[in-house]
Amino acid sequence: MQTTLKDKVAFDGVGLHSGKPARLEIHPAPAGHGIVFRRVDLSPAVEIAALWNNVTLSPLCTLMDNGQGVTLSTVEHVMAALAGTGVNNAVVTVDGPEVPILDGSSAPFVAEILAVGLRRQNAKLRAIRVLRPVEVRSGEAFARLTPADHLEIDFQIDFADAAIGHQEKVLDMANGAFLRELADSRTFCRASDIDVMRENGLALGGTYLNAVVVDGADVLSPGGLRHDDEAVRHKMLDATGDLALAGAPLLARYTGHRAGHAMTNRLLRALFADPTAWTWAEVDSDLETRLPGAGVADYGPLAGLSHPMPVAAE
């Protein structure tokens, strides 16, 4: 069955790239509504459905575009939280051009969603079943979808910095795996890239408190890493959010090698451009147990995901 939140949840912070203050609220929505973002700082408010064909290419984040000049950036972490907790219908309001980064992970979103709880709706849920392999490439990087009876993510990354290096992880996303394995993993960057990003108008809101910053073998962010392989886990978190823009749960194995937001979106575009590569699947009681959000209510409020935010020195 489809689900929504029992009540609204709210978050205040700054945009990672814009550096501008931002307030985000997730509101319940009726069955069949899907996930829709609403820019409430505009008059009248502008809505953008959280779908793959409303994404435009942007460096280092997922950028939604209504096709008429209104955009909303860095939606991937809240989309991952909604997918990982099994929320199918919601209105996500934002009072600016970018979703707040919070601690750089999905954990704050997940914690508040679980705290308020989910409501099952009297409407059947459909999933997207991948029928044959679909792949996109760019140099050594590639992303691929292959048939599976649940969502599985297989990701590999390679960075010169020894603090990251080569990392790979495979995860069956069923039954709360997102909460246990990925939700608290933070966005990351190399110290050597910060000046370049800021010269290009990016990472203006980034700090050591909302991103993992590495410099060679050193982790510069306070408290170090939450996981030895936090970088690849965060890439898998990003992929979860970007794949959620399919508009329904995916039954597929996603393989990413040095892939990013733009490549995952290209992959969804390639999938939906070929009507022989996918089909709708009705979610019965058996299939429901294999979806990412199945059973997450059993984790209870916060689910151990409430990492205290480090306090910046004055």
Q: Tell me if 249 sits within 8 A of 125, measured CB to CB.
A: yes
261 an active-site residue?
Answer: yes
Q: CA-CA distance, 110 to 204, in Å (whole number)? A: 25
Token pair in block for residue 181:
């394995």
Provide DSSP, 180-203: IIITTPPPEEEHHHHHHHHHTT-S
Between helices 230-243 and 76-84, what is the axis angle to 10°? 80
Q: Which residues neighbour 101 within 8 Å (Cβ) at sequence distance 6 or greater? A: 13, 14, 15, 16, 74, 77, 187, 205, 206, 210, 211
Handedness of CA 56, 95, 74, 86 (dihedral sign): negative
Which among 100, 78, 116, 117 is positioned nearest to 237, based on CA atoms? Answer: 78
Q: Tell me if 77 sits within 8 A of 99, measured CB to CB.
A: yes
Out of 77, 227, 261, 307, pick the active-site residue: 261
Strands 35-39 and 90-94, bridge-based pairing: parallel
Q: Helix, strand, or coil here: 82?
A: helix
* Active site amino acids: 261
